[in-house]
Amino acid sequence: MDLKELYRDVILDHNKRPRNFGTLVPSDAHAEGHNPLCGDQLTVWLRMKDGAIEDIRFEGKGCAISTASASLMTEAVKGKDRTAVMALYGRIHALLTQQDAVPDASLGKLAALSGVREFPARVKCASLCWHTLGAALERGAATVTTE
Ligand code: ZN
């Protein structure tokens, strides 16, 4: 099996059986995201502890790439604070948009998203969940400072 097939299988698997799918009750923050270019919609819920993501769930409907990307994201960001999440998104964004970006081993299954750069119209499908998480984290941080 070559790398492209492996990446495709990861995307198909996470689309068919999305991880951390559903609502989170109670939650500390949530945000909704919409990608009008494709029709993808999703909501991300967060529970925070000591400034880091303790638990995360998402729900929504969209194309295989948007669902798989959100599923992979929820597995990758637990235990991370906002700074670490944004740094990780920076690396994902490079994978999605730079033809010569090489996924390093620490990205794990997120490396599968590098397959999306062959379809530039789908980059927004893959990045929607990250923008939505960023919005939820901003509200979460605001909640923390008012405690
Ligand atoms: Zn899409």
| Alpha helices for 22-63 (secondary structure H) | none
**C-alpha 102 to ligand 1 mean position (Å):** 23
Q: Quick check: 9 pLDDT over 70? A: yes
**pLDDT tens per residue, range 54-96:** 999 999 999 999 999 999 999 999 999 999 999 999 999 999 9
State the pLDDT confidence band at 140, using cuts at 50, 70 and 90: low
* CA 147 to ligand 1 centroid distance, Å: 37
Give the 3-state secondary structure percentages of the chain, helix then strand then coil, rounded to 5: 55, 20, 25
Residue 143 has pLDDT above 60, yes or no: no
Residue 111 tokens, joined: 């490396």
The dihedral built from the CA positions of residue 132, 84, 22 and 47, taken in this order, carries a sign that is: negative
Mean pLDDT (whole number) for 117-137:
93
The verdict on pTM exceeding 0.85 is: yes
Residue 128 has pLDDT above 90, yes or no: yes
Q: What is the CATH number of domain 3-145?
A: 3.90.1010.10
CA of 125 to the centre of ligand 1 (A): 4
Of 15-29, 36-50, 93-107, 131-145, the least confident: 131-145
Burial class (CB within 10 angstroms; exposed 0-12, middle 13-18, buried 19+) of 145: exposed
> CA–CA separation, 143 vs 124, rounded Å?
28
Going from N- to C-terminal start, the domains of the chain cover 3-145
Q: Is the pLDDT of residue 144 over 50?
A: no
**Cα 136 to middle of ligand 1, angstroms:** 20
Q: How many angstroms is it from 2 CA to the middle of ligand 1?
A: 25
